[in-house]
Structure 1
């Protein structure tokens, strides 16, 4: 069961959008309906939250119950940029999570951010200095 209320609307360009009303702040964040449906299909029991970063900005995150290490940024899910930072907002409004407002920009070091490939290491063996013998 969702921990948030929803409101539905149609954007000026005819796109169906969903307003997710954040449980603690009552602030509404907007995203395309197809993205909301995708996210809730992947994580139906996730808790939505609007977290401040301490510098006057906020991020919309999902907290996955039972998995203490899983805080997912909604903007990163929508852009497909899960592991790298650099997700930007055309209008500067972090509550506008529509695809038309999001893009992956330059990171803090002035270099375009790329999604890192995560090395699968289920045994948690340190891989530094290990070479493959072919």
Structure 2
């Protein structure tokens, strides 16, 4: 999953930018995978801000016999660009499908939640015992 998200980030970001995975959120296991199913993983960028790139990943399963396709797993990955801010210039993000348009349009809501969660994490980290 992380490699697939990284590929989406590489395709989106200019080639001079380097990034690392900062985290995953909104991880949802929707349906178990079975032996008679084909699994497809798709990742694409759904937003970018300052030095962060958000990538949506979904796993879909297809029953070999019925050909029915069902979502199995979804998650959002945060990639952080390690270049200095003055080197970062993201291209315009153009959503094409209905799914992409929805996820790109709701990026700012997820970004606000993620920023709030980072503040909670800082508080937790301040209270962790060091062994």
TM-score (structure 1 length as normaliser):
0.24
Q: Which has the higher strand share?
A: 2
More helix by share: 2
Higher relative contact order (CA 8 A, sep 6+): 2
TM-score, normalising length: structure 2: 0.24
